Amino acid sequence: MDATVLVPIAISVNVLVGFVKWGFKLLEWVWLRPKRLEKCLRELGLAGNRYRLLLGDMGEYASFANQTKSRSISLSDDIAPHVIPYVHHIIHKYGKNSFMWYGPNPRLNIVDPDVIKEMLSKPNIFQKPADPLGEIVTGGLFTSEGQKWSKHRRLINPAFHLEKLKVLFHFLR
């Protein structure tokens, strides 16, 4: 065979292999990984909506947010259904420890104080998810890990001593 014929065939095969690899990665990201995660979460005893392709619960999340915007709130109302309506709905529907889907990624709702205490006592096991936007917007204690978190925690810790809190509450009365 002539080299002028083999080069286009080799290029075509490489392009085809590239498309197949890309297709498998897309399938893994959009369907296979979320379904595996859902199975693991259910085995751990967590409940939540079934995974829906690509969007997850975002459609319902948006409709709950739009419904809540139109309702007014009084000073004596519970604020949670107005601020985080879909999360509030999921917690009431599936319980204190549940999950919901932000696209192909599950988000856990942990309200049980004992579970929260255990998670906070094991920072090497339960790490915060990477959130580049959160790091830019908030930074500090909420998004930091490791040494940076320790430094920020040490800096703000004196503000929460009992004596300083007593002064603050006396001032607010």
Q: So where are the chain's domains?
A: 3-126, 131-173
Beta bridge partners of 101: 106
Under 8 Å between Cβ of 54 and 104? yes
Gap between the Cα atoms of 111 and 116, Å rounded? 7
Q: Which residues of 76-94 are buried (b: 16+ CB within 10 A; e: fewer)?
A: eeeeebeebbbbbbbbeeb
Q: What is the pTM of this model?
A: 0.70
Q: Which residue has the tokens 């810790």?
A: 157
Which residues in 92-154 belong to E strands, given as ranges? 97-102, 105-110
Segment 107-127, tens digit of pLDDT: 999 988 898 888 888 877 877
Segment 12-61, tens digit of pLDDT: 889 999 999 999 999 999 999 999 999 999 999 999 999 999 889 999 99
